[in-house]
Amino acid sequence: MKKKMNGYLMAGLIITGVLLLMTLIGAFYTPYDPTVMSAREKFNAPSFAHLFGTDNFGRDIFSRVLKGSGTTVFIALSTVVIGAVIGTAVGAVTGYFGGFIDEVLMRMNDALTAFPSILLALVVISILGPGSRFNLILALGIVFIPGFARVTRTAFASLRDRNYVESARLMGASSARIMLIHMLPNIFSVLFPALTIGFNNAVLAEASMSFLGIGVTPPDASLGYMLSEAQGMIVAAPWYAISTGLMIILLVFGAGLIGEGLQRSGNSTEL
Amino acid sequence: MLRGSSRQYAADVVPEAYCYMRSTVRRVLMLLATMIIVSFLTYAAFELISGDPAEAMLGTQATPARIAALRRELGLDAPFPVRYIRWLLGFFSGDLGVSYSYKQPVGELIAPKLEVTLCLCLLSFVIITLISIPLGVLSYQQVVGRFGWIHTTLNQLLMAVPAFFTGILISWGFGIVLRAFTPGDFPDLHMDPAGAFRHLLFAAVCIAIPRTAMTVRMMRSTVISEMEKDYVQTAISRGNDRQGVLLGHVLKNSLVPAVTFLAQTMAEIVAGGIVVEQVFGIPGLGRLLVASISNRDYPVVQAIVVILAFWVVLAGLAADLINQCIDPRLRLGGGS
Amino acid sequence: MLEIKDLHVKFHTRNREAVAGVSLTIHDGEILGLVGESGSGKTVTAMSVAGLLPRKQCSYSGEVLLDGQDLLHADRSILRKIQGRQIGVVFQQPMNAMDPLKRVGEQVGEVLKIHTDMDSDARKKAVLEAMEAVELPDPEAVFRKYPHELSGGMLQRAMIAAAIVIRPRLLLLDEPTTALDVTIQAQILELLKWLNAESGISMMFISHNLNVVRKLCTHVAVMQRGLVVEEGDTDDVFFHPQHSYTKHLIEAIPSRKHTAAFGKS
């Protein structure tokens, strides 16, 4: 794969890098304790002491945003890992072997696309029980499996009859080896953009679910949950909603730019 | 209509209308199959987890005798496939069961909310379509040009804006500050259609923003790839101007993927609607769904999930039928 | 009639000039064969004549004169009046060159719609006549067909009909028979020859196939690496090739002796 650096990729990596670094630091250190309340510091506008201001309990919003994006990013990444690993495995096997299982799984896949992703996540979460971080990850992870399966299946099916795969097969390589060593590296150009899209969908889905009150619940706080809090105090503390919302936008924007950059540099590769 | 002499035209013996009808019938059958799978998955999923609804309904008053009586009353003593078919038949005749928490037929509960949600979805869909198709076609030149990166970046930025965030900002700006509508106080759809429309319009815009950006992007890349095709060269070589090439040839060819994409957008609109209804306090299916999930009111959840899924599947069918009108190659597609 | 003077074309993405100083002339009623391997610049030359060069993506100089009017630097609006009206183009892949969503009849009549103010009945009549002229069976039926419903050979006939329906002065044929099988190829060549004889339309015929060129063309120009290395009367070039590349090409024709014996008659 010819990797050509371009502006989108660069900008995306910088934005995402800074945000991830911030959340990583936020996991260990925040300027204030995000849960400590202070009656005197209620509804402070942004200042040097409180970069993003304070909320109705006098909590420092900057610290809360750092912690909250930590939760959101953690959930989104775990979700993408679950979806990508299982989805890729399913897609690889069905795409490589084809046949009956392929047909059945693809029909099921078709039926699943009838459910909007959040709707499906809601169904899974209502089965698993709402309000737990682990259940949310599981629900969203399951929801993202079909998408990854679809992408990898197409790629594997188109690679299956390539010469180098054929020759590896003739040399007696096992199916597992062919799929892992010979084919998987060749679908990265398809997989990477899919990963960034998956990450974005996961961030948005987590935020939506938590916003609706069926994702992450207190004392755990994620960006979505914080937005639902912020909506209630939009008049008194608009900076709460704005800073939280901007954080979500930047996370998704950064990953989107990376995806855009990858797609553009990947255009020169075949497949 | 043909003299029928030349063998090359054997395909013409089958009239176009017949092909069209046959593939339509095929599509409808596939649609029914998908709907049955979807409803089965939903029903089975909730059957697995919901435990005993009789127990849930009776709550603290549950005694074995009462549970057994209620189970019989609700038809829960029948085996699973029977219950599923009974439920499915009920579904199509409008009998969706009884809500656990509202103790009210689900159909009655849902009907007025369904109206609101459908209005919201359609409104949003219209906004997306009306803006993104022309914009996508018109802006394709800009992307190729020097300032293309501005378009792309703006596009990515708008795609990143979650509908509920815009919703919060809009209900703050237009609702609380400018008083263009009252967030949380949704006018009755029949008593005050204009007020309801205004309320829905703000919500629809929130859903539409990221999806419009996505559709513009998709439309643009379709137009760009169509512009590289050979028939465009032909069109230019015949003396078409840019407008003639774009509107006369490329637009129609770009519509097929666009229609398919817009149908998929319907799923995202439904998803966005669930959240945005919450923000604006619109009494639609989404809010009822979220409340019912929290209350573990499964008959309601089941019904809403299946209805929304059907709505999405129907949008897919509509897209296929429209595409058949646009692209003659899809009409014969019945066989392969 | 058509005069190309010292044409240079260089694409920004390539280092080498695609066309490096080509001068060619086509007189009324002539059929010029432009021969060379792929990448020799023959298609780019034709595109310059047809006004299909992507002007923003290349630099170009020289002149392409159609009856004294320069096409290479002409304004797009002037060019549009000539495209289709004076110059018809037939491409290599009829299946791709047709708009898949429009009925064949409409596409054949498109030139008339752009360049004349005929009403739809008159256009249809003209289209049916053109289809008749290119020997499409049952023109009425073909008129209502979509491209995917026709075979490659029939589509190429339709494309030729579309190019000649308005009676242009010059027909550019970019490997029009390469994508077709051999029997159909021969039929199309016959058709072109007949059109030329009947209406006196000039043609520029691009091909890498010397046999085909020889059957059809009155003149030949051999191109290599963006240059015309040899040109002249078809028979002259074939029997007294001067340039080594031409000799090389002619030798590469399978069963040369056999065809040479036929060709002279």
Contacts of B99 (CB under 8 A, 6+ apart): B105, B106, B109, B292, B297, B299, B300
Considering the domain boundaries, does residue B99 fall inside one?
no
Could you report the per-residue pLDDT of C188-222, keeping only the tens digit for each? Answer: 898 899 989 988 899 999 988 888 888 889 999 99
Domains identified in chain A and CATH numbers = 2-270 (1.10.3720.10)
Alpha carbons A255 and C31: distance in angstroms, whole number: 58
Contacts 24+ apart (CB under 8 A), C14-18: C16/C225, C16/C226, C17/C226, C18/C44, C18/C58, C18/C226
Residue B316, chain A, CB below 8 Å: the answer is yes
Distance from CA of B241 to the nearest CA of A (A): 30
Instruction: Please provide the DSSP assignment of A124-150 as one string.
Output: HHHHH-SS-HHHHHHHHHHHHHHHHHH
Residue B289, chain A, CB below 8 Å: the answer is yes
Q: Which of B12, B230, B249 lies at the smallest CB-CB distance from C141?
A: B12
Alpha carbons B314 and B28: distance in angstroms, whole number: 10
Query: A113: closest CA among A77, A86, A75, A151?
Result: A151
Mean of the pLDDT values across residues A60-69?
Answer: 84
Considering the domain boundaries, does residue B97 fall inside one?
no
**pLDDT recorded at residue C264:** 43
Domain boundary pick from B62, B92, B122: B92
Residue C3 pairs in a beta bridge with C25, C65
Contacts of A133 (CB under 8 A, 6+ apart): A71, A75, A216, A220
Q: Do C138 and B238 touch (CB under 8 A)?
A: no
Return the SS3 of A100: helix
Question: Does residue B125 share a domain with residue B233?
Answer: yes
Supply the CATH number for residue B230's domain. Answer: 1.10.3720.10
* Mean pLDDT computed over every residue of chain A: 81
Question: Does residue B146 share a domain with residue B277?
Answer: yes
Least confident window among B2-16, B294-308, C91-105: B2-16
Mean of the pLDDT values across residues A75-91?
Answer: 91
Q: Do B168 and A230 touch (CB under 8 A)?
A: yes
Judge whether residue B11 has pLDDT over 50. no
Could you report the per-residue pLDDT of A89-132, keeping only the tens digit for each? Answer: 888 888 888 778 887 777 777 777 777 778 888 888 877 777 67
Mean of the pLDDT values across residues B209-231?
Answer: 90
Query: A98: closest CA among A110, A108, A106, A109?
Result: A106
**pLDDT recorded at residue A248:** 92
CB atoms within 10 A of CB B15: 10
Q: Do B45 and A249 touch (CB under 8 A)?
A: no
Is residue B13 very low, low, confident or very high in pLDDT (cuts 50, 70, 90)? very low
Alpha carbons B172 and A239: distance in angstroms, whole number: 12
Return the SS3 of C61: strand
**pLDDT recorded at residue B53:** 64
Q: Which of B34, B275, B294 lies at the smallest CB-CB distance from A211?
A: B275
Mean of the pLDDT values across residues B278-294?
Answer: 88
Mean of the pLDDT values across residues C33-50?
Answer: 88
C-alpha atoms less than 13 angstroms from C-alpha of A85 in its C-beta half-sphere: 6
Could you report the per-residue pLDDT of C92-112, keeping only the tens digit for each? Answer: 888 999 999 999 999 999 999
Residue C106, chain B, CB below 8 Å: the answer is no
**pLDDT recorded at residue B3:** 37
Considering the domain boundaries, does residue B153 fall inside one?
yes
Judge whether residue B86 has pLDDT over 90. no
Q: How many domains does chain B have?
A: 2
Tell me which of B144, B237, B259, B329 to substitute to probe the interface with C (most C C-beta atoms closer than 10 Å).
Answer: B237
Question: Does residue B179 share a domain with residue B39?
Answer: no
Question: Does residue B245 share a domain with residue B306?
Answer: yes
Residue B153, chain A, CB below 8 Å: the answer is yes
Between residues B97 and C201, the one the model is more confident about: C201
Q: Do B2 and C81 touch (CB under 8 A)?
A: no
Could you report the per-residue pLDDT of B144-156, keeping only the tens digit for each? Answer: 666 778 888 888 9
> pTM of the full predicted structure?
0.83
Return the SS3 of B324: helix
Tell me the H-state helices in chain C: 42-50, 76-82, 94-97, 104-108, 110-115, 120-133, 139-144, 152-164, 182-199, 210-216, 234-239, 244-252, 256-263
Could you report the per-residue pLDDT of C178-191, keeping only the tens digit for each? Answer: 888 888 888 889 88
Between residues A34 and B281, the one the model is more confident about: B281
Considering the domain boundaries, does residue B333 fall inside one?
no
Question: Does residue B232 share a domain with residue B118?
Answer: yes
Mean of the pLDDT values across residues A180-203?
Answer: 84
Considering the domain boundaries, does residue B190 fall inside one?
yes
The residue of chain B with its CA nearest to that of A229 is B168
Considering the domain boundaries, does residue B216 fall inside one?
yes
Considering the domain boundaries, does residue B98 fall inside one?
no
* CA dist C94 → A260, C156, C169, C173 (Å): 35, 5, 22, 12
Could you report the per-residue pLDDT of B166-192, keeping only the tens digit for each? Answer: 998 988 888 888 887 777 778 887 888
Q: In this structure, which amino acid lies at residue B327? A: D
Q: Which of C93, C115, C159 lies at the smallest CB-CB distance from B239?
A: C115
Mean of the pLDDT values across residues B84-111?
Answer: 83
Question: Does residue B59 share a domain with residue B160?
Answer: no
**pLDDT recorded at residue A1:** 39
Q: Do A253 and B165 touch (CB under 8 A)?
A: no
Between residues C256 and B218, the one the model is more confident about: B218
Judge whether residue B224 has pLDDT over 90. no
The residue range of the domain holding B86 is 2-92
* Phi, psi angle pair for B265, to nearest 5°: -60, -30
Alpha carbons A192 and A197: distance in angstroms, whole number: 9
Judge whether residue A82 has pLDDT over 90. yes
Question: Does residue B152 share a domain with residue B271?
Answer: yes
Query: C157: closest CA among C112, C188, C195?
Result: C188
**pLDDT recorded at residue A165:** 78
Return the SS3 of C5: strand
Contacts of B173 (CB under 8 A, 6+ apart): none
Q: In this structure, which amino acid lies at residue C14? A: R
Q: In this structure, which amino acid lies at residue A150? A: R
Question: Does residue B315 share a domain with residue B244?
Answer: yes
Mean of the pLDDT values across residues A61-67?
Answer: 84
Domain boundary pick from B58, B92, B126: B92
Residue B8, chain C, CB below 8 Å: the answer is yes
Q: Do C97 and B231 touch (CB under 8 A)?
A: yes
Could you report the per-residue pLDDT of B117-142, keeping only the tens digit for each? Answer: 999 999 999 999 999 999 888 887 76
Q: Tokens in use for B74?
A: 């609700």
Helix, strand, coil percentages for chain A (3-state, nearest 5)? 75, 0, 25
Contact residues, chain A, for B184 at CB < 8 Å: none
Q: Do A227 and B165 touch (CB under 8 A)?
A: yes
| Strand order through the sheet with C58-66 | C19-26, C2-11, C58-66, C69-70
Contact residues, chain C, for B233 at CB < 8 Å: 52, 89, 91, 97
Alpha carbons B209 and A204: distance in angstroms, whole number: 14
Least confident window among A29-38, A147-156, B292-301: A29-38
Return the SS3 of C79: helix
Distance from CA of C50 to the nearest CA of B (A): 6
Could you report the per-residue pLDDT of C156-184, keeping only the tens digit for each? Answer: 999 999 998 998 999 999 988 888 888 88
- Per DSSP, B332 falls in state G
Mean of the pLDDT values across residues B298-315?
Answer: 86
Considering the domain boundaries, does residue B65 fall inside one?
yes
Question: Does residue B121 share a domain with residue B62?
Answer: no
Q: Do B239 and C82 touch (CB under 8 A)?
A: yes
* CA dist A101 → B31, B118, B216, B269 (Å): 22, 37, 37, 32
Indicate the angle between helix axes A188-211 and A117-128, nearest 10 degrees.
60
Chains that contact A by 3+ CB pairs under 8 Å? B
Question: Does residue B174 share a domain with residue B279?
Answer: yes
* Mean pLDDT computed over every residue of chain C: 87
Q: Tokens in use for B102?
A: 């509202």
Between residues A267 and A122, the one the model is more confident about: A122
Judge whether residue A270 has pLDDT over 90. no
Judge whether residue B7 has pLDDT over 70. no
Mean of the pLDDT values across residues C51-63?
Answer: 88
Sketch the domain layout of chain C as residue ranges.
Answer: 96-167
Start-to-end C-alpha separation, chain A: 11
Q: Do B239 and C81 touch (CB under 8 A)?
A: yes
Could you report the per-residue pLDDT of A252-266, keeping only the tens digit for each? Answer: 999 999 988 888 876
**pLDDT recorded at residue B238:** 92
* Mean pLDDT computed over every residue of chain B: 82
